[in-house]
Structure 1
Amino acid sequence: MYGWIIGGLAGLDLGIKSLIEKQDADTFPRELIAARGMIQLHKNHNHGFPFGFLREKPELVKAIPLMVISAMAGALGAFMTEKGRTLEKLGLSIALGGAVSNLYDRLVRGYVVDYFSIEWKRLKKVVFNLGDMFVFLGSAVFIISQAVGSLKVMGEKKNI
């Protein structure tokens, strides 16, 4: 099931990126009609990490995500040997789906396609993609699950 989540989320993001890439850059930015002005579509090519960080070091921009994804996949593999831990597995799967999509972009295109911004306060200046959202969401699920698990263990130790 978790492999399907990873592949499905990566495929969704890559499909949208492909649609954006096929469109003329002169038609961007523009409003996403169904979003009532809250989302702007863009066609940005990010050659580095967020905000273009390390764009002048393309080999690092490819190698670091590959190492992180390998570690995340290893962690997911380790969790798969344990019963339960569903939220940890789900969080890692969601994050991996987004990370794999962005890694594909880096390795195949040489840049990550970022395609939308949320038109609210400072977020207006940030253009990202669903893969970024999946990494954020999956990481949050994983961290919250780990924190709750740690609190449970601490509570059990207190009661001993």
Structure 2
Amino acid sequence: MPNANSARSQLPWLLWGVSVLVIALDLITKYLALAKLEYLEVAPVTPFFYLTLRFNEGAAFSFLAGAGGWQRWLFSGLAIAVGVVLIAWIMRIYRQKGNTLEAFALALILGGAIGNLYDRIVHGHVVDFIVLHYGAKEWPAFNIADSGICIGAALLILDMFKGHKKATATHE
């Protein structure tokens, strides 16, 4: 039976595996979207979800999408910087035997950042293909990398509240 120390020593590999899984799923699904969908084609999946092929030259919600091309390198540089910070943060958590939920959330964000970085460098834009909608109201198109980033961010927020609750309980 593995002890807590051996499980703990496997943690970095599991976290890197989470990041690699997000990257792999992102690249595979983007490849399929590029191969199977025409640009702006709508392929209904459910009454609230469809697939479409869209290209985002900007950041979240197409921020700076029409800026002329320089934003590709700005966002690529930012993604590299954020990736380095996330790797250091994950390693710090591991070395200090810190919070695994926090590290898992960061691994999801890291995988998403690398998935979208790949697109920016290779294609010059991020490939988006998932759209959720209600009637005529739509959420902006996104991809698996974006999902990893959003789920990771939500887990970080949850972890912050969980940590705050613990800190409050110990001070009472």
Deviation at 1:146, TM superposition (A): 2.2
Determine the C-alpha separation between the residues in 1 that align with 2:153 and 2:39: 35
Corresponding residue of 1:109:
123
- Unaligned 5+ segments in structure 2 are 1-13
SS where residue 13 of structure 1 aligns? helix
Deviation at 1:74, TM superposition (A): 1.4
1:98 and 2:112 aligned: yes
Q: Percent identity?
A: 26
Corresponding residue of 2:58:
48
> Pairwise mapping of residues 77-92 of structure 1 onto structure 2 (< 5 A)?
77-92=91-106
User: Residues 106-135 of structure 1, C-alpha deviation per residue, up to 9 Å, x if partnerless?
Assistant: 112111000010122676141111111110
User: Residues 28-72 of structure 1, C-alpha deviation per residue, up to 9 Å, x if partnerless?
Assistant: 11112xxx3221111111111123212322221211222222212
Alpha-carbon spacing, 1:115–1:153, altered in 2? closer, same or farther (3 Å): same
TM-score (ref. length: structure 2): 0.82
Deviation at 1:25, TM superposition (A): 1.4
1:60 and 2:74 aligned: yes
Determine the C-alpha separation between the residues in 2 that align with 1:78 and 1:133: 25
User: Residues 7-28 of structure 1, C-alpha deviation per residue, up to 9 Å, x if partnerless?
Assistant: 0111001100011112351681
SS where residue 128 of structure 1 aligns? coil
Alpha-carbon spacing, 1:26–1:48, altered in 2? closer, same or farther (3 Å): closer
Number of equivalences:
155
Q: Which residue of the other structure, out of 105, 112, 134, is the alignment partner of 2:148?
A: 134
Preserved CA contact (<8 Å) 2:102 2:156? yes
Alpha-carbon spacing, 1:151–1:26, altered in 2? closer, same or farther (3 Å): closer
Corresponding residue of 1:5:
18
Corresponding residue of 2:4:
none
User: Residues 74-111 of structure 1, C-alpha deviation per residue, up to 9 Å, x if partnerless?
Assistant: 11111111325111111111121212111111112111
Alpha-carbon spacing, 1:121–1:7, altered in 2? closer, same or farther (3 Å): same
Letter in 2 for 1:63: G
Q: Which residue of the other structure, out of 16, 19, 33, is the alignment partner of 2:32?
A: 19
Q: Which residue of the other structure, out of 147, 151, 157, is the alignment partner of 2:165?
A: 151
TM-score (ref. length: structure 1): 0.87
Letter in 2 for 1:156: T
